[in-house]
């Protein structure tokens, strides 16, 4: 067997890389054909069809849409969990590729905590091993009791705050804790720093860091045990619903 070196390699070649320092000028790439997505990844039969038309969007370059109607969305079978590339903005020389596994009949393996977008409804996939690690309803109630036993205080009203099990439609009174979406500080219900901007929108100034937030939301306990990935401390909350959970669950 004789080995010969090619004049030009046919493997992976280094390409040119353009750096964009302004995040607002980045070109989002995805499978959805919504206005905020600049480049849409579609199936081969859609990309090679003769019925594709180009139309310019509000946020960037032109994108392909199916049919003669420029507002008709392209339907794609590409899964958003099939492959994911994560690059740190501050350390952009390192890229991490996360690929999902497939079995012999090309069915994708779902990991514990995966989110499934089913025609607009978001489903949470839990494995049997993951459910065994999840806390029970009694353990969640005990964790909530320990959190309220610490007697957190509002820095403005100087009263004790209590995190409820369910969100109250009436606001929960002065003992209901609220979180500022911009800075994450938790306080009670008060009118300090609440004002209207020049555009007519409501703004809430945090009395601790003086950061302006567009909204403040109630903190409540998510008592559905199957949604919690572990029994960690309840020191984080979802944005923008305000349900309290552990760091691993929120992340």
Cα separation, 215 vs 201, whole angstroms: 10
Averaged pLDDT for residues 110-138 = 78
CB atoms within 10 A of CB 104: 5
Residue 165 pLDDT exceeds 50: yes
Cα separation, 160 vs 151, whole angstroms: 6
Q: Are residues 139 and 232 in the same domain?
A: yes
Among 94, 109, 124, where does a domain finish?
A: 109
Q: Are residues 246 and 139 in the same domain?
A: yes
Which single residue is written with the structure tokens 């794609």? 76
Q: Are residues 99 and 169 in the same domain?
A: no
Q: Are residues 158 and 205 in the same domain?
A: yes
Q: Are residues 141 and 234 in the same domain?
A: yes
Q: Are residues 150 and 195 in the same domain?
A: yes
* pLDDT at residue 29, as a whole number: 58
Residue 231 lies in a domain: yes
The number of domains in the chain is 2
Residue 2 lies in a domain: no
φ, ψ (nearest 5 deg) of residue 34: -75, 170
Q: Are residues 168 and 214 in the same domain?
A: yes
With pLDDT > 90 as the criterion, what percentage of the chain qualifies? 0
Q: Are residues 138 and 182 in the same domain?
A: yes
Q: Are residues 103 and 149 in the same domain?
A: no
Q: Which helix (H) or strand (E) holds 125?
A: strand 121-125
What tokens does 5 get?
């070196």
The pTM of this model reads 0.51
Q: Are residues 88 and 180 in the same domain?
A: no
Q: Are residues 151 and 216 in the same domain?
A: yes
State pLDDT tens for residues 21-79: 655 555 555 556 666 666 666 655 555 554 443 333 333 433 333 344 444 454 555 55
Residue 184 lies in a domain: yes
Q: Are residues 144 and 230 in the same domain?
A: yes
The domain of 98 spans 23-109
Comparing CA positions, the residue from 150, 146, 156, 166 lying closest to residue 187 is 156
């Amino acid at each position: 067997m004789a080995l010969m070196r090619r004049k030009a390699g046919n493997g992976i070649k280094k390409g040119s890389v353009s750096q964009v320092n302004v995040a607002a000028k980045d070109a989002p790439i995805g499978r959805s054909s919504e206005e905020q997505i600049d480049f849409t990844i579609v199936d081969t039969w859609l990309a090679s069809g003769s019925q594709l038309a180009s139309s310019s969007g509000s946020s960037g370059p032109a994108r392909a849409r199916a049919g003669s109607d420029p507002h008709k969305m392209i339907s794609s079978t590409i899964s958003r969990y099939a492959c994911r590339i994560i690059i740190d903005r501050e350390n952009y020389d390192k890229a991490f590729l996360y690929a999902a596994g497939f079995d012999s009949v090309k069915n994708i393996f779902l990991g514990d905590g995966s989110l499934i977008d089913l025609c607009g409804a978001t489903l949470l996939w839990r494995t049997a091993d993951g459910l065994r690690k999840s806390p029970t309803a009694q353990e969640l109630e005990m964790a909530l009791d320990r959190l309220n036993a610490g007697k957190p205080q509002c820095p403005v009203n100087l009263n004790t705050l209590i995190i409820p099990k369910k969100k109250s439609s009436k606001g929960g009174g002065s003992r209901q804790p609220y979180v500022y979406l911009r800075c994450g500080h938790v306080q009670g219900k008060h009118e300090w720093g609440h004002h209207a901007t020049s555009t007519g929108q409501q703004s809430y100034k945090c009395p601790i860091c003086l950061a302006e937030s567009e909204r403040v939301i109630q903190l409540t306990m998510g008592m559905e045990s199957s949604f919690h990935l572990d029994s960690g401390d309840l020191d984080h909350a979802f944005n923008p619903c305000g349900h309290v959970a552990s760091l691993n669950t929120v992340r």
